[in-house]
Every structure is written in structure tokens, then in C-alpha cells.
Structure 1
């Protein structure tokens, strides 16, 4: 009967060792995949949120300035041509 227990113990040790090895391989694979994704994303031309917001604010300011200049131009054209003839 003791042989059966020893065989069972050896089998349990084997399974535990395989499970530990499998867990280690899984961690290594996940780590490698994360590193490859970081390298791939790092090579793309993404901008940070701060850079995007700065450019967005600059575009809004330029649009506001263009609208103001258009209004001034329309007013000047109206002064030069009061009847509205083209």
C-alpha cells in the first residue's frame, strides 16, 4: 500500500512541478507580449493628450481670430461700398 502512496506522491510532485513550469512560461509569454506591444506602440506617431489639447487650443484661437478678421473686412467693405454693389 505504501508503494501506491509513493506513486501518488510522485505523481503529485510531477503535476505540481509541471504547473509551476507552466505558470512561469505563461508569465514569460505575457511579459514578452507586453514588451512587443510597447515597442510597437512606441514606434507609432502618437501624440500625448497635453500636446493634442495645446494644438486644439491653438486651432480654436486661430479660428476666432479668422472670424474677427472676416468681420472687420466685411465692415470695411461695407464702408467702401455702402449700396452693397459688387
Structure 2
């Protein structure tokens, strides 16, 4: 009887070990399928990758800084023009109003 009991426990242990191996393999397979479906779903949504987003964000920040620098330069040039003209209206108001007697643009 002892030998029969040991063989029974050996068979149960082998069955449990095999079942654990199958469960691990099944888990990996499910993970692979889910990952592939998620990647397909995200690709269909036309989302940008984080790296691309960060590059565009940095480009926008650089453009904003350049815009501020150009605005500062324009303000300085307008002040200089106003000083040279003896206090006449500033250039941006002339250009926006479309004053025909204003400076030619182009």
C-alpha cells in the first residue's frame, strides 16, 4: 500500500507540475495576444508617440521664444522710427489702419 500511495502522490505532483507549465504557457500566449491587439488598437487611433510629442513641444517652445525675440526687436525698431519721425504714430498702428500715407510695405 505504501508503494501505491507514493506512486499516487508522484502522479499527482507530476500532474500539478504539468498543469502549472501549461498555465504559464497559456498566460504568455494571452499576454502576447492582448499586447498585439492593444498595439493594433492604438495604431488605428492614430496617436503620436511620446518622443514625437516631445519634439513638437520643444519646437513650439523654440518658436514661441523666437516670436518673443522678434516682438522685442520690432518694438525697438518702432521706438527708433518714432524717435526719428519726431513722435508720429507708431508703425504697427499705421500698417493695421491701412493709412495710405504710411510707409510702403513690401
* Shift of residue 27, structure 1, vs aligned partner: 1.1
Matches within 5 A, 1:1-86: 1-42=2-43, 43-46=46-49, 48=52, 49-82=54-87
**Structure-1-length-normalised TM-score:** 0.68
Which structure carries more relative contact order (alpha carbon 8 Å, separation 6+)? Answer: 2
Deviation at residue 53 of structure 1 after TM alignment: 2.5
Unaligned 5+ segments in structure 2 are 90-106
Count of equivalent residues: 84
The separation in 2 between residues aligned to 1:40 and 1:74, in whole angstroms, is 56
- Distance of 2:84 and 2:23 partners within structure 1: 83
Cα distance in structure 2, aligned partners of 1:40 and 1:59: 34
TM value normalised by structure 2: 0.59
Gaps of 5+ in 1: none
Which whole-Å CA distance do the structure 2 matches of 1:15 and 1:37 have between them?
32
Larger radius of gyration: 2
